[in-house]
Amino acid sequence: MKEFFEWHHETMGKKAVEALKKNHFNACYCKDGQEALEKILELVPREAVIGVGGSWTVAELGIVKELEARGHKILNHGKPGLSPEEKIEIRRGQLTSDVFLTGSNAITMDGQLVNVDGFGNRVAAMIFGPGKVIVVAGINKLVSDVEEGLKRIRRTAAPVNNKRLNTANPCTVTGECMDCQGPGRICNATVILNKKPPLTDIHVFLVGKEMGF
Protein backbone atom coordinates (compact mmCIF):
# COMPACT_ATOMS: atom_id res chain seq x y z
CA MET A 1 0.00 0.00 0.00
CA LYS A 2 2.89 2.36 0.77
CA GLU A 3 4.02 2.44 -2.86
CA PHE A 4 0.59 3.66 -4.00
CA PHE A 5 0.75 6.66 -1.69
CA GLU A 6 4.34 7.33 -2.80
CA TRP A 7 3.17 7.27 -6.42
CA HIS A 8 0.36 9.70 -5.66
CA HIS A 9 2.62 12.04 -3.71
CA GLU A 10 5.14 12.13 -6.52
CA THR A 11 2.53 12.57 -9.24
CA MET A 12 0.77 15.45 -7.52
CA GLY A 13 4.01 16.93 -6.20
CA LYS A 14 5.59 17.11 -9.64
CA LYS A 15 2.46 18.74 -11.05
CA ALA A 16 2.70 21.42 -8.37
CA VAL A 17 6.41 21.89 -9.08
CA GLU A 18 5.69 22.51 -12.76
CA ALA A 19 3.05 25.07 -11.78
CA LEU A 20 5.54 26.79 -9.47
CA LYS A 21 8.06 26.96 -12.29
CA LYS A 22 5.46 28.56 -14.57
CA ASN A 23 5.06 31.20 -11.88
CA HIS A 24 8.83 31.78 -12.08
CA PHE A 25 9.79 30.07 -8.81
CA ASN A 26 12.78 27.76 -8.80
CA ALA A 27 11.12 24.50 -7.71
CA CYS A 28 12.10 20.90 -7.11
CA TYR A 29 10.34 17.73 -5.96
CA CYS A 30 12.26 15.58 -3.45
CA LYS A 31 11.15 12.09 -2.46
CA ASP A 32 12.15 12.59 1.20
CA GLY A 33 13.75 14.98 3.65
CA GLN A 34 17.26 13.61 3.16
CA GLU A 35 17.17 14.38 -0.55
CA ALA A 36 15.88 17.89 0.18
CA LEU A 37 18.58 18.41 2.83
CA GLU A 38 21.36 17.45 0.44
CA LYS A 39 20.05 19.67 -2.36
CA ILE A 40 19.58 22.66 -0.05
CA LEU A 41 23.08 22.33 1.41
CA GLU A 42 24.48 22.42 -2.15
CA LEU A 43 22.55 25.63 -2.75
CA VAL A 44 23.82 27.51 0.32
CA PRO A 45 27.10 29.43 -0.21
CA ARG A 46 29.81 28.51 2.29
CA GLU A 47 30.15 31.98 3.86
CA ALA A 48 26.44 32.82 3.90
CA VAL A 49 24.65 34.31 6.91
CA ILE A 50 21.51 32.23 7.43
CA GLY A 51 18.15 33.54 8.60
CA VAL A 52 15.69 30.98 9.94
CA GLY A 53 11.95 31.65 9.92
CA GLY A 54 9.72 30.04 12.53
CA SER A 55 9.21 26.72 10.75
CA TRP A 56 8.71 23.27 12.21
CA THR A 57 9.46 21.82 8.77
CA VAL A 58 12.91 23.43 8.76
CA ALA A 59 13.48 22.10 12.29
CA GLU A 60 12.44 18.59 11.20
CA LEU A 61 14.84 18.73 8.27
CA GLY A 62 17.79 19.13 10.65
CA ILE A 63 19.45 21.62 8.34
CA VAL A 64 20.25 24.21 11.02
CA LYS A 65 22.59 21.79 12.81
CA GLU A 66 24.26 20.95 9.51
CA LEU A 67 24.80 24.63 8.74
CA GLU A 68 26.11 25.33 12.24
CA ALA A 69 28.61 22.51 11.78
CA ARG A 70 29.77 24.19 8.56
CA GLY A 71 30.43 27.38 10.51
CA HIS A 72 27.60 29.57 9.25
CA LYS A 73 26.27 32.46 11.30
CA ILE A 74 22.65 31.53 12.08
CA LEU A 75 19.99 34.15 12.81
CA ASN A 76 17.39 32.07 14.65
CA HIS A 77 14.94 33.92 16.90
CA GLY A 78 13.64 30.57 18.17
CA LYS A 79 16.89 29.75 19.94
CA PRO A 80 16.26 29.14 23.68
CA GLY A 81 17.26 31.77 26.22
CA LEU A 82 16.84 34.87 24.09
CA SER A 83 15.27 38.01 25.51
CA PRO A 84 12.32 39.65 23.68
CA GLU A 85 14.67 42.43 22.56
CA GLU A 86 17.18 39.94 21.17
CA LYS A 87 14.43 38.13 19.27
CA ILE A 88 13.31 41.38 17.64
CA GLU A 89 16.88 42.23 16.61
CA ILE A 90 17.37 38.76 15.10
CA ARG A 91 14.09 39.01 13.19
CA ARG A 92 15.27 42.30 11.69
CA GLY A 93 18.58 40.74 10.76
CA GLN A 94 16.83 37.92 8.92
CA LEU A 95 15.43 40.46 6.45
CA THR A 96 18.92 41.10 5.05
CA SER A 97 20.43 37.63 5.53
CA ASP A 98 22.26 35.97 2.65
CA VAL A 99 19.92 32.98 2.81
CA PHE A 100 16.52 32.78 4.48
CA LEU A 101 15.14 29.32 5.33
CA THR A 102 11.44 28.88 5.92
CA GLY A 103 8.44 26.65 5.38
CA SER A 104 5.08 27.44 3.81
CA ASN A 105 1.64 27.00 5.32
CA ALA A 106 0.24 25.88 1.98
CA ILE A 107 1.24 25.45 -1.66
CA THR A 108 -1.47 25.39 -4.30
CA MET A 109 -1.66 23.10 -7.29
CA ASP A 110 -1.47 26.15 -9.55
CA GLY A 111 1.85 27.21 -8.00
CA GLN A 112 1.06 29.82 -5.34
CA LEU A 113 2.43 30.09 -1.79
CA VAL A 114 -0.09 30.85 0.97
CA ASN A 115 1.14 32.00 4.38
CA VAL A 116 -0.25 33.58 7.53
CA ASP A 117 2.12 35.13 10.06
CA GLY A 118 1.97 36.59 13.54
CA PHE A 119 4.65 39.30 13.56
CA GLY A 120 5.14 39.44 9.79
CA ASN A 121 8.91 38.91 9.74
CA ARG A 122 8.65 35.50 8.05
CA VAL A 123 6.36 36.60 5.22
CA ALA A 124 8.28 39.88 4.83
CA ALA A 125 11.56 38.01 4.33
CA MET A 126 9.91 35.71 1.78
CA ILE A 127 8.95 38.72 -0.37
CA PHE A 128 12.06 40.91 -0.39
CA GLY A 129 15.39 41.39 1.38
CA PRO A 130 17.43 38.19 1.73
CA GLY A 131 19.86 37.25 -1.03
CA LYS A 132 18.17 33.88 -1.42
CA VAL A 133 14.93 32.46 0.00
CA ILE A 134 14.63 28.69 0.43
CA VAL A 135 11.16 27.29 1.12
CA VAL A 136 10.74 23.65 2.11
CA ALA A 137 7.32 22.04 2.51
CA GLY A 138 5.93 18.56 3.00
CA ILE A 139 3.36 17.02 0.68
CA ASN A 140 0.73 17.64 3.38
CA LYS A 141 0.95 21.37 2.55
CA LEU A 142 -0.31 20.78 -1.00
CA VAL A 143 -3.84 22.17 -1.59
CA SER A 144 -6.09 22.70 -4.58
CA ASP A 145 -6.27 26.50 -4.50
CA VAL A 146 -5.78 29.61 -2.37
CA GLU A 147 -9.13 29.28 -0.58
CA GLU A 148 -8.32 25.69 0.38
CA GLY A 149 -4.93 26.90 1.57
CA LEU A 150 -6.54 29.47 3.87
CA LYS A 151 -8.95 26.83 5.13
CA ARG A 152 -6.01 24.52 5.84
CA ILE A 153 -4.33 27.24 7.88
CA ARG A 154 -7.47 27.91 9.93
CA ARG A 155 -8.25 24.22 10.36
CA THR A 156 -4.78 22.78 11.00
CA ALA A 157 -1.70 25.00 10.90
CA ALA A 158 -2.89 27.79 13.18
CA PRO A 159 -4.39 25.64 15.97
CA VAL A 160 -1.42 23.25 16.04
CA ASN A 161 1.11 26.08 16.03
CA ASN A 162 -0.78 27.83 18.80
CA LYS A 163 -0.67 24.61 20.82
CA ARG A 164 3.06 24.27 20.11
CA LEU A 165 3.68 27.84 21.25
CA ASN A 166 1.42 27.38 24.29
CA THR A 167 -0.59 30.52 23.61
CA ALA A 168 -3.78 31.49 25.41
CA ASN A 169 -5.71 31.68 22.15
CA PRO A 170 -9.06 29.81 21.99
CA CYS A 171 -8.01 27.47 19.15
CA THR A 172 -5.79 25.62 21.62
CA VAL A 173 -9.05 24.45 23.22
CA THR A 174 -11.43 24.20 20.27
CA GLY A 175 -8.88 22.84 17.77
CA GLU A 176 -9.97 25.27 15.06
CA CYS A 177 -9.60 28.96 14.28
CA MET A 178 -12.00 31.21 16.24
CA ASP A 179 -10.89 34.54 14.70
CA CYS A 180 -9.65 35.62 18.12
CA GLN A 181 -8.93 39.27 19.00
CA GLY A 182 -6.42 38.88 21.85
CA PRO A 183 -2.86 40.28 21.99
CA GLY A 184 -1.37 36.79 21.52
CA ARG A 185 -3.05 36.20 18.15
CA ILE A 186 -0.58 34.68 15.65
CA CYS A 187 -2.71 35.15 12.50
CA ASN A 188 -2.15 38.81 11.66
CA ALA A 189 -0.53 39.00 8.22
CA THR A 190 -1.75 37.00 5.24
CA VAL A 191 0.54 36.88 2.19
CA ILE A 192 -0.13 35.07 -1.08
CA LEU A 193 2.80 34.83 -3.45
CA ASN A 194 0.96 34.49 -6.75
CA LYS A 195 4.25 34.57 -8.66
CA LYS A 196 7.89 35.01 -7.71
CA PRO A 197 8.73 38.67 -7.00
CA PRO A 198 11.29 39.61 -9.69
CA LEU A 199 13.99 40.83 -7.28
CA THR A 200 13.82 37.80 -4.97
CA ASP A 201 15.58 34.49 -5.64
CA ILE A 202 13.09 31.92 -4.29
CA HIS A 203 13.69 28.17 -4.31
CA VAL A 204 10.84 25.84 -3.32
CA PHE A 205 11.53 22.25 -2.28
CA LEU A 206 8.38 20.11 -2.13
CA VAL A 207 9.01 16.90 -0.19
CA GLY A 208 7.00 13.74 -0.80
CA LYS A 209 6.52 13.14 2.94
CA GLU A 210 4.39 14.82 5.59
CA MET A 211 6.43 17.52 7.33
CA GLY A 212 5.50 20.35 9.67
CA PHE A 213 2.00 21.49 10.51
Question: For the segment 173-187, what is each residue's pLDDT rounded down to a tens digit?
Answer: 999 998 899 888 989
Residue 115, pLDDT > 80, answer: yes
**Domain range enclosing 89:** 2-207
Q: Is residue 197 part of a domain?
A: yes
Question: Is there a contact between 120 and 78 (Cβ–Cβ < 8 Å)?
Answer: no
Does any domain span residue 77?
Answer: yes
Category of 55 on φ-ψ map: left (φ > 0), alpha (ψ -120 to 50) or beta: beta
Percent pLDDT > 70 in the chain is 100
Strands lying side by side in the sheet with 202-207: 26-30, 202-207, 132-138, 99-102, 50-52, 74-76
pLDDT at res. 12? 96
118, part of any domain: yes
The reply to whether 212 falls in a domain is: no
pLDDT at 108 exceeding the cut of 80: yes
Count of structural domains, the chain: 1
**pLDDT value of residue 101:** 98
Q: What is the CATH number of the domain that holds 19?
A: 3.40.50.10420
Tell me whether residue 213 is in a domain. Answer: no
Distance CA 110, CA 127 (A): 19
